[in-house]
Amino acid sequence: MGEIKEEPLSDNETEPILSLVEVQFTDKQEQISEPFNFVEVKNEYQEESIDVNAIKEELKDEVTVDESKMFVDRHFMDAPMKRARTVLTLETKLNIIQRLENGETAASLGRLYNMNESSIRTIKKNAERIRNSVAQSCSLAAKKTVRVRNPLLEKIEKMLAIWVEDRNKKKMEVNSRIIRTKALRLYEHLQQRNTGSSSAEPFAASKGWFDKFQKRQNLHIKLKGDAGSGDDVATYDFSDDFKALVTAKGYRPQQVFNVDETGLFWKRMPSRTFISKEEKTAPGFKAAKDRLTVLLCGNAEGDFKCKPLLVYHSQTPRALKGGRLQNLPVHWRSNRKAWVTGKLFEDWFLTCFCVEVEQYCHASGIAFKALLVLDNAPGHPAHLNDLHPNVRVMFLPPNSTSLIQPMDQGVIAIFKVYYLRLIFSQLPNGSEQCGKQSVREFWRSYNILHAVKNISCAWNEIDVSIMNAVWKKLWKECVHDMRRCVNPYSEVHEIVSLGQKVAGEGFEDLREVDIMDLLQSHEEELSVEDLVELTQREPENQDVMQKDKLTLKRLAHFFTLADRLTQEAMDMDPNVERSLQFGRNLTLALTPYREIYRDKQRQSNSLH
């Protein structure tokens, strides 16, 4: 290649040409004679990292010194000056959109905000998306927009997650097909209710949507079915294992317990009664949909029943204000969905069950040791066997609850019958003239405290023979009277008789089928209306909710505990991959709380 000649710069050019030998200004008025070698140039422009040898290898060709010299010259001379990237907040973008709509040009706004004209046009193009981000309560200080999901679909997924969890707790069948079908029904129902809304987006409940829904809600679908689909082989194997353990450890019937939970609509009347009909047409919250969960536990001998655990959606409802929860005839607990969660069950196991059983054993003059039989419901932690040295836990096999679990052989059904009978016995049955009003007044004043007392009375009313007879299928050797037949609905006719004495529509002509429908409604799956109610309803008492417990200090402590848990997994588990996966999953689960923490930090900084 021939020698490179230096061309003189034009009048409007001021950038010098850098040579490997020397740097000259070609206006020939001033000359810098001090030479600059390549090393010095490279050091001065270190961030560019020009490596001639690397270039040689990349081009796979011989490059002369002159060629490399020309490359470096052109690199430094032709490299354009990059404009600093400007990141705008949503508030600034909204201002730009507004000014564009007011008639200002993209070119003038580009000069004003030191941006390219094309960037201004991009903001204009995404105007609707930016406004949607702000409408979705996105902070105006945010510097990027996100894709806004269909709000109707988000509402459906929230309801669907509740529905799936409820079916799991009721040990009902759950699978992809059932969930996707329910999602379509919910979508169609809400679209009909929201006729005229902005969302007419089609929804097919596809397999892809279901997979993403599972990840978003962190759902683990394991249960297939319970009632009517028991595994007989597994049941027989469990019975043999159970009896072998009882014999080996020397457990007496007094020391063997079973626990199960059930839902209860504590203020519901038969659908044909005027009370039920009037409530359906009345606006606002429907008391008949107010649901709680009762956990019942007793031993195989039948002579000891634990104090019931009651889980409600409010910690301190109005009816309980001014009283001590410790004085109630039940163990009172609460969460928003009135479910027995793993944490609540573990708390009950340690602070209620173990304590009461120890007291019972000492009072009966027998050794304090116990075997607790329970099903594999989602709210029953798998690590219970490691919580108390004197209490052994044995889980029933899947799909066997309806076949052998003692509490499901009539105890829970009888408890509900007794509860309803107590309510009907308390209904006023005055003359026909004032009967309706008297019943209305009674039912209007019937609150959760009355329900708690009736729950306790109904539980205490179940006698020893029934509590013992229900162990017939699992442990017939401990049953005193094998001829004792447990008929949960033998008292239904008495409830009908009590109801027919009450004046008013639906009471005077009450039938047994009406009572049976009411009793069975406690175990029905949540309807669309129930799900809408659950997602919209606030707790009865707002005092607890008004105080924000998600403080910066508590959130920081929460993250510290999570870090300790992650470190504990790494120290405990020799499988590094498994412990790292646990840490990643925990980090992902903490994402919504970290968002809350950052928002609170920004709010705190803005106040100072």
- For residues 256 and 86, which has the higher predicted lDDT (pLDDT)? 256
Among 372, 376, 430, 413, residue whose Cα is nearest residue 398: 376
- For residues 31 and 448, which has the higher predicted lDDT (pLDDT)? 448
In tens, the pLDDT along 239-286 reads 999 999 999 999 999 999 999 999 999 999 999 999 999 988 887 778
In tens, the pLDDT along 17-59 reads 343 334 333 343 444 444 444 444 444 444 444 454 544 454 4
Q: Which pLDDT belongs to residue 422?
A: 97
* Least confident span in 170-179, 320-329, 392-401: 170-179
Task: Render 381-415 in DSSP notation, one character per residue.
Answer: -TTGGGT-TTEEEEEPPTT-HHHH-GGGGTHHHHH
Average pLDDT on 64-76 reads 44
Q: Which pLDDT belongs to residue 82?
A: 52
Q: Which pLDDT belongs to residue 420?
A: 97
Among 219, 275, 339, residue whose Cα is nearest residue 510: 275
Answer yes or no: are the C-beta atoms of 391 and 354 closer than 8 Å.
Answer: yes
Instruction: Please state at what angle helix 176-193 crosses helix 207-217, rounded to 10 degrees.
Output: 90
Is residue 172's pLDDT more than 60? yes
Is residue 389's pLDDT more than 80? yes
Instruction: Give the whole-angstrom CA distance, residue 582 versus residue 587.
Output: 9
In tens, the pLDDT along 331-359 reads 999 988 898 989 999 999 999 999 999 99
Query: Could you tell me the two tokens for 350?
Result: 């340690």
Q: Which pLDDT belongs to residue 358?
A: 97
**Percent of the chain whose predicted confidence (pLDDT) is above 70:** 74
Instruction: Give the whole-angstrom CA distance, residue 183 versus residue 159.
Output: 9
Instruction: Give the whole-angstrom CA distance, residue 261 versus residue 464.
Output: 20
Count of CA atoms in the C-beta half-sphere (13 A) of 575: 6
Instruction: Give the whole-angstrom CA distance, residue 608 versus residue 588.
Output: 31
Q: Which pLDDT belongs to residue 577?
A: 85
Q: Which pLDDT belongs to residue 129?
A: 79
For β-strands 291-299 and 309-312, DSSP reports them as: antiparallel
Average pLDDT on 544-553 reads 66
Average pLDDT on 374-390 reads 89
Average pLDDT on 186-212 reads 76
Q: Which pLDDT belongs to residue 190?
A: 82
* Least confident span in 78-87, 148-157, 230-239, 477-486: 78-87
pLDDT band for position 70 (50/70/90)?
very low
CA separation, residue 348 to residues 169, 216, 333, 344, 381 (Å): 17, 30, 9, 6, 12
Is residue 66's pLDDT more than 70? no
Average pLDDT on 498-518 reads 93
Average pLDDT on 200-223 reads 76
Q: Which pLDDT belongs to residue 128?
A: 80
Q: Which pLDDT belongs to residue 148?
A: 52
Q: Which pLDDT belongs to residue 311?
A: 96
Average pLDDT, the chain: 79
**Percent of the chain whose predicted confidence (pLDDT) is above 90:** 37
* Identity of the highest mean pLDDT range in 277-291, 403-417, 544-558: 403-417
pLDDT band for position 446 (50/70/90)?
very high
- For residues 97 and 32, which has the higher predicted lDDT (pLDDT)? 97
Answer yes or no: are the C-beta atoms of 339 and 311 closer than 8 Å.
Answer: yes
Is residue 207's pLDDT more than 70? yes
Q: Which pLDDT belongs to residue 537?
A: 53
Q: Which pLDDT belongs to residue 589?
A: 85
Answer yes or no: are the C-beta atoms of 552 and 600 closer than 8 Å.
Answer: yes
Work out the burial of residue 355: count CB atoms within 10 Å of its CB; fewer than 13 is exposed, 13-18 middle, 19 or more buried: exposed
pLDDT band for position 147 (50/70/90)?
low
Instruction: Give the whole-angstrom CA distance, residue 88 versus residue 131.
Output: 14
* Least confident span in 224-238, 367-381, 522-536, 572-586: 224-238
Q: Which pLDDT belongs to residue 548?
A: 66
Q: Residue 293 contacts by C-beta under 8 Å, 6 or more apart in sequence?
A: 261, 262, 263, 264, 310, 311, 338, 339, 340
Q: Which pLDDT belongs to residue 259?
A: 97
E-state strands within 248-327: 256-265, 291-299, 309-312
Q: What angle do CA 21, 23, 29 make, to 5 degrees?
A: 135
